[in-house]
Amino acid sequence: MIIICGGIKGGGGKTTTAINLAIMRGLAGFEVLLVDADSIDNGNASDFSAIRDETLESKHYTAIKLNGKAIAKELPVLATKFADIIIDVGGHDSLSQRAALTVADLLLVPVFPSSFDTWVIESINTLISEVNVINPKLKAYCFLSRADASGNQNDDASEILIGEYPEIEFIDCPVKNRKVFRNASGQGLGVVEYKPKDPKAIDELKKLYQTVFKQSFQD
């Protein structure tokens, strides 16, 4: 499966989602390719993979950098060699993201629970509608990322997203804003690898993993 962790606004947790799903999928025994398609070299999947190279003997995934319209040609070839390809396209409407959308199976959009971030989904919905003419198999999910630990803002954002956009399915898999995500990524680790373990964060990621891959996470 070719999965894009994307959107058109930064700060939602795309890279965090991409690296954690890639690690979990690799730990589950699948051959995974993590593609850094972010044209802005700042805190992206390549930076994380470099840290991970220094930390662990095995990353549990293969990492490459790929940009531009060539992605549409390269991804189908790479998909014959890997069980899953997970792409971090960065937080903007880029040529790389549009090219990847023409061949991907799933667009996964992390949404920060703020009014501005939820409004942006309308533009993504229009983009998916246009791409579906070329790639009718493409599906899109959005979910709350960096969500509040408490309060009504998560519920308010969910109400805006549920059923509002016909091309994007809202999935109830909130990933909350927890220190473990920053601590783990700073060491080149996935949340499921980091110690001491954060059971709540792990459970949130497991729910997201199960929804995306249609199977429970077993490391």
pLDDT score of 153 = 67
User: Considering the entire predicted model, what is its pTM?
Assistant: 0.93
When pLDDT is averaged across residues 60-86 and rounded to a whole number, the result is 95
> How would you classify residue 138: left for phi > 0, otherwise alpha for psi between -120 and 50, otherwise beta?
beta
In the chain, what are the domains?
A: 2-213 (3.40.50.300)
- The lowest-confidence range among 16-30, 101-115, 142-156 is 142-156
Of the pLDDT bands very low, low, confident and very high (cuts 50, 70, 90), residue 55 is confident
pLDDT score of 188 = 95
When pLDDT is averaged across residues 202-212 and rounded to a whole number, the result is 97
Q: What angle do CA 165, 171, 172 make, to 5 degrees?
A: 130
Minimal CA–CA distance to 219: which of 2, 54, 115, 197?
A: 197
When pLDDT is averaged across residues 198-202 and rounded to a whole number, the result is 96
pLDDT score of 112 = 83
pLDDT score of 115 = 67
pLDDT score of 152 = 62
For residues 110 and 175, the answer to whether their CB atoms sit within 8 Å is yes
**pLDDT beyond 60 at 166:** yes
- The lowest-confidence range among 53-67, 110-124, 198-212 is 110-124
When pLDDT is averaged across residues 129-145 and rounded to a whole number, the result is 94
pLDDT score of 111 = 87
Q: How far apart, in Å, are the Cα atoms of 82 and each of 2, 46, 113, 130, 180? A: 10, 19, 33, 28, 29
Render the burial of 14-29: b for 16+ CB within 10 Å, e for the rest. bbbbbbbbbbbbbbbe
pLDDT score of 155 = 66
Of the pLDDT bands very low, low, confident and very high (cuts 50, 70, 90), residue 156 is low
When pLDDT is averaged across residues 77-84 and rounded to a whole number, the result is 97
Residues near 189 by beta carbon (within 8 Å), at least 6 away in sequence? 23, 52, 55, 56
When pLDDT is averaged across residues 62-86 and rounded to a whole number, the result is 95
